[in-house]
Structure 1
Amino acid sequence: MASNCKLTKHGSDVFEDPTFYRSIVGALQYATVTRPDITYCVNKVCQFLEKPLNSHWKAVKRIIRYLQGTQDMGLTVKPAENLSNLPIVAFCDADWASNIDDRKSTSGACLYLGPNVITWWSKKQQTISRSSTKAEYRSLALASQEIMWVESLLKELQVTHQTPIIFRDNLSTVAMSHNPVLHNRTKHIELDLHFVRDKIQDKTLTIKHILSEFQTADIFIKPLPNTQFITLRNQLRIQDCNSID
């Protein structure tokens, strides 16, 4: 998706065949199973299934052209070097009030088990956040929940793992998750999100800051310039199959 693309549901240029639009977008949803690089843009065009406009269809055609030009690329999976103590690393981020129609934020994250990315998502948050910190913290809580699920699965399979790490590029969110004093000033954040702090105190979860240019989750929350998009796509281990030994 073009980095300056701002899609909205308001407009008079109604697409002439909404059923065709829905069928194409539905097919693109299946492609996200192995192509996390198109997760954000597919999630975005899915928000206009009720009344698609020509501007939405233009964005869909851009996705199709991108897939046509990268048919040989796919998600690379390789064996872990040490199965006895697998690292669990997650990257999560949020784009505050990014939806110009309802001003809801977008959460995005990806989770690595060993060298491989095993789960990823791009979701519009269900409620409106009055601050960027609240939107970021909600995204952090969602990633923590996903880690808990992966941990329970590994425990059932009797696979040991390291203490999970979540990387954030928002310093205020990292500070708030570690410092319980700051929570007294953020009572507007729902209590069910504060389990993140409890996991940190139990030493079952680690939250670390990362520079924005290395934040892999950016690819799931907003359109990016070509250079940054390709860099993050490589971090997701999406490679050309012809270049793999």
Structure 2
Amino acid sequence: MSTASAMPTPMISSLQLLSTGLEQFEDPKLFKLVVGTLQYVTITRPNLSFAVRKVSQFMHNPLLAHWKAVKRILRYLQGTQEHGLLLHKCNDYRLYGFSNSDWVADLEDRRSVLGYCVFFGANLVTWFCRKQTTISRSSTEAEFRSLVACEAEITWVKNLLSELKIALTTAPSIFCDNLSTILLTANPVLHDKTKHF
């Protein structure tokens, strides 16, 4: 892999990996070893969390298509060895987060994937990417669950900072790209139609 050409992204955004297929990967132990190693890499490379989570779902029965996805991640890593987390000293004590979710993008179990990242000043301090435990009936529900998870993480970080005697300069903010979810959080009248979640 050291002579392979680098890739600009760890995974193609439209890639649909399925657990059924004809071409089995001939060395499942190698697949498990490489994917397990990639899971440790995500500790300092949060940009790999989604792609590694995706290929980790197929460790029990890897196919050739799954191995090709893993090789793409490795080629991306080979080209971005200088990337990683860089923490800067800052005087801006703001706490803010970004949340997002895809709605039923997984073709096998139709569960949504939620993700968020939380920044303290200019530094990324925590991130998360995982399948939701339930099936969402709408994109608003999926985004709302992601927003709630981000809020819980921000509350935890805020409490941690208060224990460390670090005062925040402003109230924490969360950014979300779903207008329905934003309106739902701002207007309590809309909660009548959201009792199921």
Fold similarity call, TM over 0.5: yes
1:174 maps to 182
Q: 1:98 aligns with which of 102, 105, 117?
A: 105
**Aligned counterparts, 1:16-27, within 5 A:** 16-27=26-37
Q: Does 1:72 align with 2:82?
A: yes
Per-residue CA deviation, residues 37-69 of structure 1 (Å, 9 max, x unaligned), is 111101110111111111000000000011011
2 CA distance for matches of 1:10 and 1:127?
A: 23
2 CA distance for matches of 1:176 and 1:186?
A: 9
Per-residue CA deviation, residues 152-177 of structure 1 (Å, 9 max, x unaligned), is 11111011112110001101000001
2:50 maps to 40
Higher helix share: 1
1 CA distance for matches of 2:134 and 2:23?
A: 29
Structure 2 gap ranges (5+):
1-10
Structure 1 segments of 4+ aligned residues over 4 angstroms from their partners: none
Per-residue CA deviation, residues 61-82 of structure 1 (Å, 9 max, x unaligned), is 0000110111122222100124
2 CA distance for matches of 1:48 and 1:174?
A: 35
How far did residue 3 of structure 1 move? 2.4
Q: Which amino acid aligns with 2:149?
A: L
2 CA distance for matches of 1:88 and 1:8?
A: 38
1:185 maps to 193
1 CA distance for matches of 2:144 and 2:60?
A: 30
Name the SS for the 1:117 alignment partner. Answer: strand
**Aligned counterparts, 1:76-91, within 5 A:** 76-82=86-92, 86-91=93-98
1:147 maps to 154
Name the SS for the 1:158 alignment partner. Answer: coil
Per-residue CA deviation, residues 105-159 of structure 1 (Å, 9 max, x unaligned), is 0101110001101111211111111111111100011001101110111111011
Q: 1:130 aligns with which of 115, 137, 140?
A: 137
**Aligned counterparts, 1:113-128, within 5 A:** 113-128=120-135
Structure 1 gap ranges (5+):
190-245
